């Protein structure tokens, strides 16, 4: 595509996600032209994230406005329509400009025949918007902007909190940092941010965490020098709960991109840490982060569920299993989860989690700890997995997690999305007796 107009670029990104099931972040990297200005690139990102965040609602509104369903080959036109409605309802772009530029994008994607259609639909939406908004409470999928199956799962698992979780999923996430305490203090990081004109404050619970207004981390020398990393506060608790000490042998079983591996080493660089991941490209990110932060770990590309391929027979005193999951706790960071996930994906994820737990438990030393973590809010992936392990392994004991964050769950602690501004995370700490 030769077009450089932001809305035309955004339409191609949305097609890659909606039709080809690509991750939004990957599609943006692949399709975004390097020649776009910083301002236009930011607009493309906002249009894609926002449209996918509210897609179930936008689709609901679009359906009665289009007399004949668009063909699959015209998904880019549908993307422009959804994008146009997102601009009219959620962005501060003047309505006439939003409509004009979205209509013009039809020519940029080489579909001039759609000019009249997009113009007519968006102007009709403007006229009927008050009535469409008034109807929202009668249609839960549109009101909460979540697919029906996911809405029901969350409501079943969290009958007292489901509305708050769904609302948090539709909000913009905070920008959280983790200070590398081997190189500077948190107060020193706050001072560096203030000197750069960036507003920031300490996290509520993480002693290494800072919440800042969004900025490009590459603009601060401290990032390249390894003085801080980007990491949500909820993900920073693994280092505390594992309690790694000098000389301990530690396994980070699904380590990429290496945020938790690095945090463990920032806390205790004298530990012998192995970082494992089954994706060679993602394992490369572990190497990059270790190098930037000035840390050292053994990085291997292997399936944690097949220890015979990589384990040397020496037990680990600590195992971190940040298990592959539905990622339903980080939807606000990855809104494409709403359209890319299916109920069968949860079944597959749960099977993988159970396989990994069963394979890794024998590798844990007596008296050692295994920390099970997901960024999910679904009980089948969390308390369901830990309950099954405890029933299957008589030498497994759930350790209490005495903290102020999250909500108490059987054997564990659950952070619900949006609680104290954090992502949705689950933690369970098991000891081998």
H-helix or E-strand spanning residue 414: strand 412-415
Based on the fold, state whether residues 115 and 239 are members of the same structural domain.
no
- In 3D space, the residue among 331, 330, 328, 335 whose CA is nearest the CA of residue 82 turns out to be 335
Q: Is the dihedral of CA 204, 206, 207, 212 positive or negative?
A: negative
Task: Say how many domains are in the chain.
Answer: 3
**pLDDT range class, residue 67, cuts 50, 70, 90:** confident
Q: Is 351 a residue whose pLDDT tops 60?
A: yes
Looking at the domain assignment, is residue 197 inside a domain?
A: yes
Q: How confident is the model at residue 1 (pLDDT cuts 50, 70, 90)?
A: very low
Residue 362 tokens read as 């024998």
SS3 273: strand
Instruction: Tell me the pLDDT band of 177, cut-offs 50, 70 and 90.
Output: very high
**Residue 254, token pair as written in the block:** 């699904």
Q: What is the spatial distance between Cα 417 and Cα 420, in angstroms, rounded to a whole number?
A: 9
Asked if 223 and 239 sit in the same domain, the reply is no
- Inside any domain, residue 148: no
Say whether both 349 and 240 belong to one domain: yes
pLDDT per position as a tens digit, 219-229:
999 999 999 99
- Residue 283 is predicted with a pLDDT of 97
Q: What is the mean pLDDT of the chain?
A: 97
> For the residues 398-421, what does the mean pLDDT come to?
96
Of 230, 247, 269, which one is at a domain's C-terminal end?
230
Same domain, yes or no, for 361 and 393? yes
**CA 157 to each of CA 142, 148, 163, 384: distance values in angstroms, whole numbers, following the listed order:** 20, 14, 12, 11
Per-residue pLDDT band for 316 (boundaries 50, 70, 90) equals: very high
Asked if residue 134 belongs to a domain, the reply is yes
> What pLDDT score was predicted for residue 4?
79
Position 393 in a domain: yes
Inside any domain, residue 167:
no
Tell me which DSSP letter residue 20 carries.
T
Whether 358 and 239 map to the same domain: the answer is: yes
Pair (400, 323) in one structural domain: yes
* pLDDT tens sequence across 68-86: 889 999 999 999 999 999 9
In a domain, 158, yes or no: no
Query: Which tens digit of pLDDT belongs to each residue from 112-145?
Result: 999 999 999 999 999 999 999 999 999 999 999 9
Segment 321-344 shows an average pLDDT of 97
- Give the Cα separation of 234 and 417 in Å (integer): 10
Which domain does 119 fall in, by range? 6-143
Distance CA 245, CA 264 (A): 10
Same domain, 302 and 361: yes
Pair (286, 351) in one structural domain: yes
Q: What is the CATH number of the domain that holds 223?
A: 3.30.70.1170
Q: What Å distances lie between residue 13 and 39, 147, 189, 338, CA to CA?
A: 17, 21, 36, 16
* Domain's final residue, options 143, 165, 186: 143
pLDDT at 365: 98
DSSP E strands in 50-185: the ranges are: 175-179
pLDDT at 18: 97
Q: Is the peptide bond before 274 cis (omega within 30 degrees of 0)?
A: no
Token representation of residue 64: 């009665």
Query: Are 110 and 54 within one domain?
Result: yes
Planar angle of CA 101, 102, 105, nearest 5 degrees? 85
Angle between helices 383-392 and 343-360 (to 10 degrees): 40
Long-range Cβ contacts of 393-400 (<8 Å, 24+ apart) = 393/361, 395/432, 395/433, 396/361, 396/430, 396/431, 396/432, 396/433, 397/430, 397/431, 397/432, 397/433, 398/428, 398/429, 398/430, 398/431, 399/369, 399/429, 399/430, 399/431
Same domain, 419 and 303: yes
Q: Are residues 29 and 93 in the same domain?
A: yes
The answer to whether residue 89 scores a pLDDT higher than 70 is yes
DSSP string, 324-381: ----TT-TTT-TTHHHH--HHHHHHHHHHHHHHHHHHGGGEEEEEEEEEEES---GGG
Q: Is 108 exposed, middle or buried (0-12, 13-18, 19+ CB in 10 A)?
A: buried
CATH code of 101's domain: 1.10.940.10
Q: Residue 416 has what DSSP assignment?
A: P
Query: Does any domain span residue 164?
Result: no
Question: What is the Cα–Cα distance from 280 to 303, expressed in whole angstroms?
Answer: 11
What pLDDT is stored for residue 2 in this prediction?
45
Asked, for residue 367, whether it belongs to a domain, the answer is yes
- Written as six digits, the tokens of 421 are 């501004």
Which of 212, 230, 248 marks a domain boundary? 230
CATH code of the domain containing 386:
3.40.50.150
What is the C-alpha to C-alpha distance for residues 265 and 180, in angstroms, rounded to an integer? 10
Residues 251 and 293 both lie in one domain: yes
DSSP structural state of residue 113:
G
Among all residues, which ones are annotated catalytic?
Answer: 375
């Amino acid at each position: 595509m030769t077009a450089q107009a932001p809305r035309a670029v955004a339409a191609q990104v949305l097609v890659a996600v909606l039709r080809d099931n690509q991750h939004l972040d990957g599609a943006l990297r692949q399709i975004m032209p390097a020649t776009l200005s910083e301002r236009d690139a930011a607009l493309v990102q906002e249009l894609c994230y926002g449209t996918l965040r509210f897609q179930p609602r936008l689709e609901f509104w679009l359906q009665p406005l289009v007399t004949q369903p668009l063909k699959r080959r015209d998904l880019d036109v549908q993307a422009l329509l959804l994008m146009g409605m997102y601009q009219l309802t959620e962005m501060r772009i003047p309505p006439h400009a939003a409509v004009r530029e979205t209509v013009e994008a039809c020519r940029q994607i080489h579909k001039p025949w759609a000019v009249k259609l997009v113009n007519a639909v968006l102007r009709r939406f403007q006229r009927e918007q008050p009535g469409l908004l008034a109807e929202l409470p009668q249609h839960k999928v549109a009101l909460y902007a979540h697919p029906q199956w996911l809405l029901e799962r969350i409501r079943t698992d969290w009958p007292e909190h489901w509305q708050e979780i769904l609302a948090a999923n539709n909000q913009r996430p905070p920008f959280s940092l983790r200070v590398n305490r081997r190189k500077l203090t948190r107060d020193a990081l706050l001072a560096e941010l203030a000197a750069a004109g960036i507003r920031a404050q300490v996290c509520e619970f993480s002693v290494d965490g800072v919440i800042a207004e969004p900025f490009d981390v590459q603009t601060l020398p401290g990032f390249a020098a390894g003085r801080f990393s980007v990491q949500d506060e909820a993900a920073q608790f693994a280092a505390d709960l594992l309690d790694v000490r000098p000389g301990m042998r530690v396994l980070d079983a699904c380590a990429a991109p290496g945020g938790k591996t690095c945090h463990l080493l920032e806390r205790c660089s004298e530990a012998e840490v192995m970082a494992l991941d089954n994706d060679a490209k993602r394992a490369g990110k572990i190497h990059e982060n270790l190098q930037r932060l000035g840390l050292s770990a053994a990085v291997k590309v292997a399936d944690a569920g097949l220890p015979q391929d990589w384990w040397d027979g020496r037990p680990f005193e600590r195992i971190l299993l940040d298990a592959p999951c539905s990622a339903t706790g980080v939807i606000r960071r990855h809104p494409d989860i709403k359209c890319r996930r299916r109920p069968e994906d949860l079944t597959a994820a749960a099977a993988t989690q159970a396989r990994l737990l069963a394979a890794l438990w024998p590798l844990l030393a007596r008296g050692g700890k295994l920390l099970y973590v997901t960024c999910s809010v679904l009980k089948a992936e969390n308390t369901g997995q830990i309950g099954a392990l405890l029933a299957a392994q008589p030498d497994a004991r759930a350790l209490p997690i005495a903290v102020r964050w999250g909500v108490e769950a059987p054997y564990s602690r659950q952070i619900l999305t949006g609680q104290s501004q954090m992502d949705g995370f689950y933690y369970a700490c098991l000891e081998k007796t």
